[in-house]
Structure 1
């Protein structure tokens, strides 16, 4: 079965995949940090620690995807991109398609990160099309949703998240395989973090929203927490029933911290 998706530059067909069993994951988002030395220091240690019970994913800056792929080869570490274009090809200097990522062996791609939504003015529909492009290429999108501090203070958290999620789920239709990441914008790079209970409340809400579209999604979609996850708060966050792991920013640049966070996900 296929679903058809209209993008600004092309019409693509998305194969519908049965969602995988709900997995636990830790995803390292290096953002625009790191170098070859970090790749060569981190990947062998991460490969030695990776276990099937919890997926370990590294998303480096795009210039290092090839090196990370080489170092992760034949190990339990997966790798992915931090973004993807919403079209299959074209005059898009500085961008890359989901097909290109698949050719590199990327298993994942982050879409809709709050920094992309803010600095690059990516709207909910653009994020949804990017996610669909990934699925069509056989790349699993890690779809980010989250609210600002003003949204939270005005009691709009659930409204904002429901709108972000609705755009994605309406476009993907059936049981496409994807990962959700809840990243409260107010907790990214600020040192602030939602309490485990606050994060759990939002994750439970997101799972209820998934159930409105598909009971299979509600049961199988991995939902990560991504807001200042650190070695000292990971265990308490990951102990919550609807938090399946973390999307880790700054702490992922220190291999010792990342390994501590990864260890905390084994519960």
Structure 2
């Protein structure tokens, strides 16, 4: 089944208003692959500004996190309604930094995913193992546990993209080989097929994240189960355009 190539750019806690606008303007003027879906995720203060100057039809905006409830006395949280109000269509949920640093549980991430979907946002759902878990050969066990928490909460996966991001490869310069990524993605798709049905699993995009850059992105080109990338640091650089165009 043909799945639209997806490239997410997670700016994390980086950038200024000026630099965010500059990145968007460069994307607007770049010859981006027309068959790629591009979703950029600036820091919360710059979401509206980024959205307001996007002119390319295949670029959308994502928040980096959202709450699992509509509003209230929750200092520092941002609601789905607020994210939609500034024009974002997507949210990243369950990124490893939220899991490992902020200590968000599988259950909370599942609740956030359900709430976002139920209230009109599309979700980039992140999963992945730590270095210690990889060394203990627990990669699939961890990823299946993280997915199972979400499977128990939602039934419609139409607006979900799953991002496999091995924690040991994020920001380290290390990356899974294209062959390793393909094997893990294929195993994840098999697991999802068993849990959700083959048609859902075949249509669900599973993207890879972890030190993806302009130099290595093309090496994933022929991997049937790698449907794109979630890019960190390289999304702040001109090479992000090369990643978007890596399937051409």
If the TM-score is normalised by the length of the shorter chain, which range does it land in? over 0.9
Deviation at 1:86, TM superposition (A): 1.4
Counterpart secondary structure, 2:152: helix
Match of 2:54 among 61, 69, 72: 72
1:224 aligns to what? 207
Which residue matches 1:247?
A: 230
Aligned to 1:17: none
Structure 1 position 30 matched with structure 2 position 11 = yes
User: Which residue, 125, 128, 133 being the options, matches 1:151?
Assistant: 133
Q: Which residue matches 1:201?
A: 183
Which runs of 5 or more structure 2 residues have no equivalent in the other structure?
none
* Residue in structure 2 matching 1:44, options 22, 25, 30: 25
| 8 Å contact from structure 1 (residues 193, 228) kept in 2 | yes
Closer, same or farther in 2 for the Cα pair 1:214/1:98, shift >3 Å? farther
8 Å CA contact 1:135–1:176 kept in 2: the answer is no
Q: What RMSD in Å do the two structures reach over aligned CA positions?
A: 1.6
The structural deviation recorded for 1:61 is: 0.4
2:79 to 88, 93, 97: 97
Give CA deviations for 1:124-158 in whole Å, capped at 9, x if unaligned.
Answer: 11111111111112111100000011111111111
Aligned residue pairs: how many? 246
TM-score normalised per structure 1: 0.88
Task: Verify the 8 A CA contact 1:50 1:77 in the aligned structure 2.
Answer: no
* Residue 162, structure 1, aligned to residue 110, structure 2: no
Gaps of 5+ in 1: 1-20
Deviation at 1:210, TM superposition (A): 1.3
